[in-house]
Chains A and B, each alone.
Chain A
Amino acid sequence: MFGLDYSWLSDPAYQQWLLKGILNTIELAALSSCAAVIIGLVGALALTLRIFWLDAIVELFVEVFRNTPPLLQMLFAYFTLSTLGLKVTDPSTGLSVPLLSAFACASISLSLFGGALAIEAFRSGIETMPRSIIEAARSLGYSRWSRFWKVEAPIAARICLPALTNILTNLFKTTSQASVITVPELMYYAGQIYNDTFRTLEVMILVLLIYVSLVSIVTFAMARLERWMAFPGYGKGH
């Protein structure tokens, strides 16, 4: 069809590669997404404490990771962390291997990148909270801590959910850059396959479709979550 040749797809070896690539991509995305959300929450929470030096640290972290290319961050993580000299002995082979694999370095760098963006999203969610709602909570005697958990966080979470969806879909797509530091995810195996078969266009079309499907799952899940969490009577609420 259209002169495209997909006969290589019947080769079990390539099927294996694709499947492994997809699984690694999902694993990398899931790990770094979870970590990014946790970093985001902790960072945003730290900012609400309004402690001068803590603010400075969090803001520096956000600026560094938001304002530099994620590919550079990943290369940086790979070359610094793997050359730190942290080695462990693999019990199965008896060989000395770096403690932090390429996969670990990619996870860490993606988590920090996503985390920086998530801090900003959560911070803006907390800051756009109507002042009057906070005043109401104060007048009811809520302490700062319980006010945050019982009133501000549930409302802020709903405000920043759309921004979080953007961050997570971007993070998912950015996992493809891990191929550069030899993490065997989908993009990495795609390269392997077209280097083997010279069917570059065919492989790229297939990989594109796979990414579309995978990221759609994320956006679909987030849309469901948004609808589920919506306040009845506001926005998407019924």
Chain B
Amino acid sequence: MNRSDALIEIDGIRKSFGTFEVLKGISLNVSKGEAVCIIGPSGSGKSTILRCINGLIPINEGFIRVGNHRVHEMRSEKAMRPLRHQVAMVFQQYNLFPHRTALENIMMAPIQVLGHDKAEVEDRARKLLAKVRLSEKADSYPGQLSGGQQQRVAIARALAMQPDIILFDEVTAALDPETVKEVLFTIRQLVEEGLTCVLVTHEMKFAREVSHRVCFTDRGMIVESAPPAEFFDNPQDPRTREFLGQVL
């Protein structure tokens, strides 16, 4: 039974690492086709929220539903496979597999995990490489690519899983300013195509331009959640105001 029509439904999740409670009751709904940015100070639990959505981190308390998957009830990696098929993730450190070429990185999981046909996957992978404008780098290894190029390959790898949702975890934080642009360009394209995206980011301008909704987290809580214009121009919570005052 789904409690709402949202694609992602998070209700009252709590998570502790040891004695430190990172998430103190997070609730968040994301509709299909929506792009939600999560911003907030370091250590406020932003990345942890993403990792709870695709089950990388088990939660202590609460409810998480993604599509038809009740994530909080899943226990084994095997049970989570359909969920991981539906939800892809892109990381701050790219995390490409260093022993495989760009093209192979994109093709590996669809073939090895989803069991898709190799020829069809290669076709898909080459199209995705073209989409992130890296066709000529198909046979390069991650170590031979710049940070921005690696990150775009990582986005293509996520897309190759044909997910309904992509989670972006501070994907531009490790990049230099010029390459940030090319990665953000790619993400913007995806949002415009209607892919559901949850983005943890420090790029305020990007959050404002691209997202449909911005959530501000502080000390394990979502303090404020609003459409970007409202959020940036007229923040309600004093903590949001303070944070925005520091970063803008």
Contacts and interface: CB of A to CB of B under 8 A. Distances in A.
25 contacts: A133-B95, A133-B97, A136-B91, A136-B96, A138-B77, A139-B54, A139-B56, A139-B84, A139-B88, A140-B108, A140-B161, A141-B80, A141-B84, A141-B109, A141-B113, A141-B114, A142-B109, A143-B78, A143-B113, A154-B99, A155-B98, A231-B142, A232-B144, A233-B142, A233-B143
A212 B85 CA distance: 55
Contacts of A142: 77, 109, 112-113
B141 interface: yes
Interface string A151-172: 1001100100000000000000
Interface of A: 130, 132-133, 135-144, 146, 150-151, 154-155, 158, 231-234, 237
A143 B98 CA distance: 19
Contacts, number: 78
A143 B81 contact: yes
B27 interface: no
B44 interface: no
B89 interface: yes
B7 to A, nearest CB: 18
Contacts of A234: 98, 143
Nearest to A138: B56
A237 B145 CA distance: 13
B131 to A, nearest CB: 19
Contacts of A132: 91, 93, 95
A121 B112 CA distance: 28
B91 A237 contact: no
Nearest to A137: B97
Interface string B65-105: 00000000000011011001100110101011111000000
